[in-house]
Structure 1
């Protein structure tokens, strides 16, 4: 089932955001023994390491996206045809 480039990119963006929100809490610690004095929030991590998390998100999302695209193209996960019928 051929799908358009817009749909392919949209599926990748959805995969990337889902993986990002899955990876963001990994490696953070809630334990803070003294109250923050620099205006930071109690729940904010000391070292968020966002660059590593974005890189990890990108390669994990790419693997998941490739799996989803393979399932769509072999027909195990068909996408609905939303185009109106041609008269």
Structure 2
């Protein structure tokens, strides 16, 4: 894997994990019983951004490491996804 591929895989993992982590354990202002005037009742009751970003970074790093180790070990290659057979055959010289 090139350094660019590693960075892209980490960014994709990080944002996917962020979208999973954001709604977890969220308490709305309506559930807390104190709605701030001018805000919707479904707005978060308190700031939890820093904690969620830390959890996201840790989980994304673990997922990214698993993906990179799997790809670099050779267990999965681009040929595994060539379902239509469009890649040229592997030459005998390589």
Common fold by TM > 0.5:
yes
For residue 20 of structure 1, what is the aligned residue in structure 2? 18
Matched, 1:78 2:80: no
Choose between structure 1 and 2: higher helix proportion. Answer: 2
1:62 alignment counterpart: 61
TM-score by length of 2: 0.72
Structure 2's unaligned 5+ residue stretches are: 80-94
Aligned positions, number: 79
Tell me the residue number matched to 1:29.
27
Query: What TM-score do you get using the length of structure 1 for normalisation?
Result: 0.77
Structure 1, gaps ≥5 residues long:
81-87
After alignment, is 29-38 or 47-56 more displaced?
A: 29-38
Instruction: Give 2:44's aligned residue.
Output: 45
